[in-house]
Amino acid sequence: MPELHFKGKEFVYNHHLTVPFRPLLAQPDKSCGDDPENLIVQGDNLHALKSLLPRYAGKVDLVFIDPPYNTGNEGWAYNDNVNSPLLRDWLDGNPVNKEDMLRHDKWLCLMWPRLKLLHELLSERGSIWITLDDNEVHHARAMLDEIFGEQNFVATCIWQKNYSPKNTAQHFSEDHDYLLVYAKNASDWRPRLLPRTPEMEARYGNPDHDPRGPWKAGDLSARNYYSEGTYSVTTPSGRLLSGPPSGRYWVVSESKFKAMDADRRIWWGEDGGNIPAIKRFLSEVKDGRVPQTLWFYHDVGHTQDAKKELLNIFDFASSEDVFVTPKPTALVQRVLELATDEDAIVLDSFAGSGTTAHAVLAQNAKDGGNRKFILVECEAYADTLTAERVRRVIAGYPFHGTRREELLREKITLSTLKKAHALLDRVALVERQNEGRFTRIKSTVKDGELIVSGETDVAEQAEGLGGGFTYCTLGEKLELDDLLTGASLPAFAAFGGYLFHTATGQPLDAGKVRAADGYLGESAQYHVWLLYRPDL
């Protein structure tokens, strides 16, 4: 298999093994609700993922992450503590931007150890979904092929993130992002079926009042050669058909055809003289529809939907202040529908605005599930944005403000100025078409673009979805020297979980721990005890 080579790979290849263990410290004053099994962790996601291993190794059913796209505009910084003069020299150039000629190498150095830990956290039935754009998707494919195995690649889904083209685009309007999908074991993993749509159901009818219910006609012939597919048939009206249509073959043998006809599974048309067709009964098809790789915004939302969701929950001064790259809840819910059972554990280690937790709670409310979420966010807004969004979604929130919907966006150029009357006519047409839909319609000019927006004043209470979470921070790193000198003595549970996972490679089952005699549990090879009294 071809390998991906990038500057610094030799230093980060096994860096995940050297990341120090830092116990999770619950913060009750920032926690919320009645479900402490959900977690929101504030801290560097590399350290947080390492801290999750003692409890969650091999238990996470879905990883959904939205990492930096590395467009050159985010200003993200590579700050992993890799013991390499080469990497340390790079870091002088942080934050990473378009002028950084090594920004792709740095992005790969950022992602490699995190993906290694995420692979270890995934269950055998688990899958990972990563949103990206053209800046890094090709590098990510090669990296994931190495870490997960190219045989475990499942799909590249295309999400239509924009509902209208960007007229300011230099070459093409980039209207989509990607979702890369890998499974821990693709040979065993299967996506769940999506619900059938009303349009799909409407394709079935029952013109002959068959007691088996609605059906639709399917072709009884195909181009593929079939040795038993060239016989003649006689229609109920008496018309003789010498064989299937020219260049085609019946898809069943003559004996099978007669049995199907006797069972009223052949449709000859209203007058009984048509070319025969197979009756495919709705009751006998799959319970849902197979997912496709094209995801349209009218099914899973677009970026403006995501910003509107945040504007509904938080009182931002304007839509320009909203978190820059949120994903719509509907997009993550679609992933949950495809990739999780109702008791799944879902992990997002680039939590951002908290969409994944919102989607988990919404999906649980929709189907009665008991999914659990784990969010990790390193930025200062982990409490004020990420967790606060989840608190409000859990409890419900009042919304007093303005909902905005963009109706028209046009770049102002010399050409448009010469035809200003035409542009003003378009604005007037938009205003007439949307008359009565909004409290007001506003036209503004910003960054060389004319933007027409509809604004609606609203005051309402969003119903809470229920649930809860434990808010955690990362404790001091566990150092053997500090343990031996007594300078740092972590709690028995934290040290025991780390020790058990280190010894067995398996997560600790807290229900089997006997703190009184130090028993931690058993693996296939070992029973493990920890004789340790930090409180003495």
Q: What is the pLDDT of residues 29-57, one digit of tens each?
A: 999 988 899 999 999 999 999 999 999 99
Q: Which of 379, 405, 385 is nearest to 310 (CA)?
A: 385
Task: Choose one of 284, 302, 318: the last residue of a domain.
Answer: 284
Which tokens is 237 given? 């009206």
Of residues 149 and 431, more confidence is placed in: 149
Q: Which range scores top for mean pLDDT: 23-27, 66-70, 97-101?
A: 23-27
Q: Tell me: do 310 and 163 sit in the same domain.
A: yes
Three-state DSSP class for residue 148 = helix
- Are 205 and 275 contained in the same domain? yes
- How many domains does the chain fold into? 4
Give the E-state strand segments of 171-321 in sequence order.
176-183, 215-219, 221-222, 233-234, 240-241, 249-250, 266-267, 277-281, 294-295
At 160, which helix (H) or strand (E)? strand 153-160
In this predicted structure, what is the pLDDT of residue 87? 56
- In this structure, are 384 and 523 located in the same domain? no
| 49 and 128 both lie in a single domain | yes
Where does the pLDDT of residue 531 fall: very low under 50, low under 70, confident under 90, or very high at 90 and above?
Answer: confident
- Asked which of 354, 376, 399 is the last residue of a domain, the reply is 399
Going from the C-alpha of 130 to that of each of 158, 195, 350, the distances in angstroms are: 12, 24, 10
Whether residues 33 and 44 fall in one domain: yes
Question: What pLDDT is recorded for position 97?
Answer: 65
CATH of the domain at 381: 3.40.50.150
Domain that holds residue 128: 9-194+290-399
96 within some domain: yes
Give the model's confidence band at 319: pLDDT under 50 very low, under 70 low, under 90 confident, else very high.
very low
Region 279-300: mean pLDDT is 91
Strands 39-42 and 122-132: unpaired
Q: Kindly report the three-state secondary structure assignment for every residue of 171-189.
A: CCCCCEEEEEEEECCCCCC
On whether both 411 and 368 belong to a single domain, the answer is: no
Residue 399, SS3 per DSSP: strand
Task: For residues 79 and 119, state if they share a domain.
Answer: yes
Give the residue from 378, 399, 420 where a domain finishes: 399
Task: Give 283's DSSP letter.
Answer: G
4 domain residue, yes or no: no
Angstrom distance (rounded) from CA 200 to CA 285? 12
Q: Is residue 236 part of a domain?
A: yes
Same domain membership, residue 325 and residue 185: yes
Q: Give the up-direction half-sphere exposure of residue 519: CA atoms within 13 A in the CB hemisphere.
A: 11
In terms of domains, do 294 and 387 share one? yes
Within a domain: 476: no
Shared domain for 153 and 239, answered yes or no, is no
Q: Which amino acid is at 322?
A: V
C-alpha span between 129 and 348 (Å, rounded): 10
